[in-house]
Structure 1
């Protein structure tokens, strides 16, 4: 059973990772993977030259004149898939995410028509489960899920480790853009992701849009991806670089509104207060942190996405 499959990779300034990812994708035959679409978000590290010299005719490069962020890159890429390919499915990833050997073949050899999207088991190169890519269920769509979320926090609405060893797929509400198989039917139902989110939360909102439109999503533990992001340095409880505070907190509020419905306001107020109190962690950056957070909260409640990257930078670095 063969589905017409293409891959979508969004990259910026990580040529070494992109090279590994394209090698992992292109090892599959053309009858398994028909095309690899690379969205280059204005890289300045030689990526453009390397891609221009690449010899595999399956590689299509969409070079952007500005850094659109991960969200903008996936919007551009999915629009290309929709308008310029006849693919039934697209598998999405960042430049540091890639399929394990045989994963694309496993996907192709199984009936996938029962769902509009399939989420893979994403692990670090060392073999541990990649927490940032752990699939989830919306805790606000069932009373039991809500109670689990209250009691267990993030662990209450993300799937547990046992699901990774389960003998069959399980129904979920969403996953990340690393190792996500997304059908043309899903694009028809959910439209395109919100590129102006820049980064953070775009995959959550896109998954919720699909589910709200009646689309079905499943986690298949037999599909394996690797995310080479295990080492980020010491975690001191802050968001760095500082400008990311704006996007993370604004987009979290937009996710809470989409997921929580009528419970959005008490949930958002509780989190906003907690975030405000975290300013003490930002020694020497407290004023800039509060400025970014204040604007993030304002725009998150208003669902505004018109803040430019340059404006965010000015809030993060008022003395420049």
Structure 2
């Protein structure tokens, strides 16, 4: 047994799998959701419960969840929202439900992944040494997915050239987050509050992970725990990929810069000049995404980028905007 595995085994003895809740957000993808729930049924150990937040799906999601209630091997909680609140609203609700049910650990994920059988034990091996943890995942084709775990705070954008390799420690400090696998302790949630549902999609997990890193030492660990089950068109740049997007994503990636500005300002980290540079870089990146991944710039795509930027400036100027409050302040 290596020194790393001995350390991981020792730490895992202090982690109770039943204290963890997997919170899944889904919308009209019952086939993918079923595959995820099947993978959770194969986990050893299993979490104490699984929460499925249904963003008002129009398919058979409710029936699919019900079909797993007696076979998944752990408590299954189903919450159907009255309207589609986006990934942001879904994860906000998922964290709220998990927190109110007394969960110590909350493992957040979309419906288009599956959990590897020993995923929870691998994550638990790092608890409670760290309280905000991101595992690794395999892409749809089985390749190792690289996630940009560092954010330039002045610019408000991921750092694409952050080192990808791990040393003997088996982790790297991070200051961001990804709701596709974020593993977070309730003590951190108490301090930073719920994810902000107003993002709808995009930048929500980046901001939430950044807030967590201000309260605790956040890390990405060299543990493969998830596998993507949905193929996404990509521009392969070697270790790093640029995924295809949509006009809706293009709108929110620009619009939500306005929300991000308020969080930076609330914590004394907002620099107007640098943040404007980051916004411009985001705009250019989206043009590159459309050109290199989707092979063409559409009038609608450009219009959504400009519309998102316009609405983002309006949000940024809104002096009544308030960031999410810590749960300890309730």
Normalising by structure 1, we get a TM-score of 0.77
Secondary structure of 1:39 counterpart: strand
Moved more, 271-280 or 196-205: 271-280
Matches within 5 A, 1:240-319: 241-255=246-260, 258=263, 261-269=269-277, 271-272=279-280, 275=283, 282-285=297-300, 288-289=303-304, 292-302=307-317
Q: Which residue of the partner structure matches residue 88 of structure 2?
A: 71
Cα contact 2:151–2:159 (8 A) shared by 1: no
Aligned partners of 1:283 and 1:92: how far apart in 2?
A: 34
Secondary structure of 1:285 counterpart: helix
Moved more, 68-77 or 55-64: 55-64
Aligned partners of 2:281 and 2:221: how far apart in 1?
A: 37
Q: Which residue of the partner structure matches residue 5 of structure 2?
A: none
Please state how far the C-alpha of 1:21 moved relative to its aligned partner. 0.6
Q: Which residue of the partner structure matches residue 101 of structure 1?
A: 117
Residues 117 and 233 of structure 1: CA distance in aligned 2, closer, same or farther (over 3 Å) = closer
Aligned partners of 2:182 and 2:243: how far apart in 1?
A: 28
Q: Which residue of the partner structure matches residue 232 of structure 2?
A: 231
Cα contact 2:261–2:316 (8 A) shared by 1: no
Q: Which residue of the partner structure matches residue 75 of structure 2?
A: 58
Deviations 1:255-302 (A, max 9, x none): 466569343434325634873895996444378436523433323533
Normalising by structure 2, we get a TM-score of 0.75
Q: Which residue of the partner structure matches residue 35 of structure 1?
A: 49
Please state how far the C-alpha of 1:125 moved relative to its aligned partner. 3.1
RMSD, matched Cα: 3.5
1:21 partnered with 2:36? yes
Residues 283 and 171 of structure 1: CA distance in aligned 2, closer, same or farther (over 3 Å) = closer
Q: Of 2, 13, 26, which aligns to 1:11? A: 26
Please state how far the C-alpha of 1:113 moved relative to its aligned partner. 1.6
Cα contact 1:204–1:255 (8 A) shared by 2: no
Secondary structure of 1:176 counterpart: coil
Deviations 1:12-57 (A, max 9, x none): 011111011111112235x631110000011112112222333336
Aligned partners of 1:283 and 1:304: how far apart in 2?
A: 34
Residues 267 and 91 of structure 1: CA distance in aligned 2, closer, same or farther (over 3 Å) = same
Cα contact 2:89–2:198 (8 A) shared by 1: yes
Please state how far the C-alpha of 1:223 moved relative to its aligned partner. 4.2
Residues 12 and 137 of structure 1: CA distance in aligned 2, closer, same or farther (over 3 Å) = same
Residues 242 and 135 of structure 1: CA distance in aligned 2, closer, same or farther (over 3 Å) = closer
Aligned partners of 2:60 and 2:89: how far apart in 1?
A: 21
Secondary structure of 2:184 counterpart: strand
Deviations 1:225-254 (A, max 9, x none): 21234433789x997542332211122454
Secondary structure of 2:232 counterpart: coil
Aligned partners of 1:305 and 1:105: how far apart in 2?
A: 44
**Structure 1 residues without counterparts, runs of 5 or longer:** 307-320
Aligned partners of 2:160 and 2:216: how far apart in 1?
A: 24
Aligned partners of 2:227 and 2:282: how far apart in 1?
A: 33
Deviations 1:167-214 (A, max 9, x none): 5222221231111111111111211000111011111111111222x2
Q: Which residue of the partner structure matches residue 171 of structure 1?
A: 173
